[in-house]
Structure 1
């Protein structure tokens, strides 16, 4: 298998070099004890020539994209530039977009982190798909690619072999996701243990500064306060709409526009985040946590927690405690 890490003028050097190093080291660690290396990592630009990263450093690559017939996965780093519009409309980005479309059609897993997600948008690969990007470019993503289903604050999303992730350092989670997808969960665990990062895929929301949320989505912030303030009292969509002084239909529309969630999904996620925080910071029993998070009983709490985190409350608490110094 071959994994291609793309380089282009203005891309984040740390994301490009870091992705290459992490993937190559992961392949080495997985192949220890005489096992065959599971994949090869290649670097490429549009024309195979060196490129200048966002810090002005010149970086070399292995090949041009035209020299790569097929690949198992492609990683697109984020970028910085003075004018996003000019950058995205450059001839090289247009050519890369066409190549990405062909690679996806031939079965490759196409992945992008941070602002690199916009290159997938230019390729039309976000149309009709759930996706995410860094919090400060979420509104721009929704505006520029209205056919995409941009999800507010999500750390990583895969939708039909298109993988997108949030902030500038989310390339770490992206690389682990690639290893997990191509080689399985055990291989991803080996890679994560070596890199001293968490192998469990994050299913909650990425961190978003409250100041930005208050400005860009004050309605969402107020809705979160309502759900969290309810404490042990269950909250329905109708309850939330009433507390916010809007109709059920308006609540559904505004949440869908802002974060891509229904009222029930929104309430469930906020309750999950509350429960996760309590698991990390208290020694409450599962029954107490269920009540404090607004669940009717411990069984429904366990089911909901597993749906969001992929593990039981007890397993999550145990994992977080082992990671504490």
Structure 2
């Protein structure tokens, strides 16, 4: 399996080296699996990953701290890769991923490889390179939570999912967060070599193969701060009695249901029902962060009379049960530094 790791101006050395190392570590484990593991896993014979770091001209590139990133190949090479991956990069003076000539050349090269059948993946700000390549137009994707609004403005045709840890559509994988190259690598291994090899890679690296949604780390209501309508709707939902519906929300906002649906779809790519659920669950997370809060009380405060419906909605959005979230939150907040 041949993996290309793209290096552009501002690429993070740690992410590029980390990606390469994780595939190398996986190779070592494939050759000599830890005792007791080989019998449990179905591993294709002779499987190995080869990584190549690729830049526009094949020359080393400086990372944001002035260290050189070694490079193996250039974009002029005609090699065929099973996957092409882009990592995070330094932001410009405006706090945004730069759109340099290096990035444009990378976007064109990645688009060409995708058309040749390669899988394509990007982590953190590297998702902007895929956006520049027009590969995310009309496709569901994600990016780092604090770049969400900037991403939507720059690539309005992309269907960016708020707070998602990882998204895949049509052989294109995107992840969020500067360290999410780990999630990207494990997901790509799973797609290229199967779940058993991905489990081996995760276990040998002591990495979590189940990524938590980014919304856990973002300020509650962050995605709604871009538009007064979203902020107003959020407040109505948080202070309303149980049983909020799209019809009631539209009426409270002096809008028709059809207009509300269109506005929410354009602003956050959500239906009114999904918007209502997200606001309720984000509120639940805030309440569960409070010591002593009971899950039943939180469910009621967030408009759920049915505990089962609350737990189902919570798990679907947060990726864990309310009990597990409360335990995770308590451990995170009480961790000594």
Question: Structure 2-normalised TM-score?
Answer: 0.76
More helix by share: 1
- CA distance in structure 2 between the aligned counterparts of 1:284 and 1:196, rounded to whole angstroms: 33
Q: 1:7 to 1:226 in 2, by over 3 A?
A: same
Q: Which ranges in structure 1 are unaligned for 5 or more consecutive residues?
A: none
Give the CA deviation at 1:146.
2.5
Per the alignment, residue 263 of structure 2 pairs with: 254
Q: 2: distance between equivalents of 1:182 and 1:111?
A: 12
> Residue 149 of structure 2: SS of its match in structure 1?
helix
1:7 aligns with 2:4: no
Q: Conserved in 2, the CA contact under 8 Å of 1:154 and 1:206?
A: no
Change beyond 3 A, Cα 1:154–1:243? farther
1:28, 1:37 within 8 Å by CA — same for their partners in 2?
A: no
Contact 1:75 1:111 in 2 (8 A): yes
The residue number in structure 1 matching 2:250 is 241
Q: How much has 1:58 moved relative to structure 2?
A: 0.9
Provide the secondary structure at the position in 2 that maps to 1:71: coil
CA shift digits 1:156-207 (9 cap, x unpaired): 2212122222232222222222222223334333333344432114456353
Contact 2:6 2:53 in 1 (8 A): yes
Gap regions ≥5 residues in structure 2: none
Output the CA distance in 2 between the equivalents of 1:26 and 1:219: 48
How has the CA–CA distance of structure 1 residues 8 and 249 changed in structure 2, closer, same or farther, with 3 Å as cutoff? same
Matched, 1:122 2:164: no
Matched, 1:197 2:201: no
Deviates more, 1:29-38 or 1:16-25: 29-38
User: Cα offset for 1:216?
Assistant: 2.8
2-side partners of 1:235 and 1:86: how far apart? 39
**More displaced 10-residue stretch of structure 1: 4-13 or 199-208:** 199-208
Report the equivalent of 2:177.
167
For residues 189 and 288 of structure 1, what CA distance do their matches in structure 2 show?
Answer: 38
Does the 8 Å CA contact 2:145/2:177 hold for their aligned counterparts? yes
Matched, 1:66 2:76: yes
Alignment partner of 1:148 out of 158, 162, 165: 158
Q: 1:284 to 1:183 in 2, by over 3 A?
A: farther
Task: Tell whether 2:20 aligns with 1:20.
Answer: yes
* Deviation of 1:62 (Å): 2.0
CA offset at residue 9 of structure 1?
1.6
SS at match of 1:88: coil
| 314 and 127 in structure 1: CA distance in 2 versus 1, 3 angstrom threshold | closer
Cα deviation, residue 71, structure 1: 1.6
Offset from partner CA, 1:232-257 (integer Å, 9 cap, x none) = x2322223334445443343233223
Q: Taking structure 1 as the reference length, what is the TM-score of the superposition? A: 0.79
Distance 1:107 1:290, change over 3 A: farther
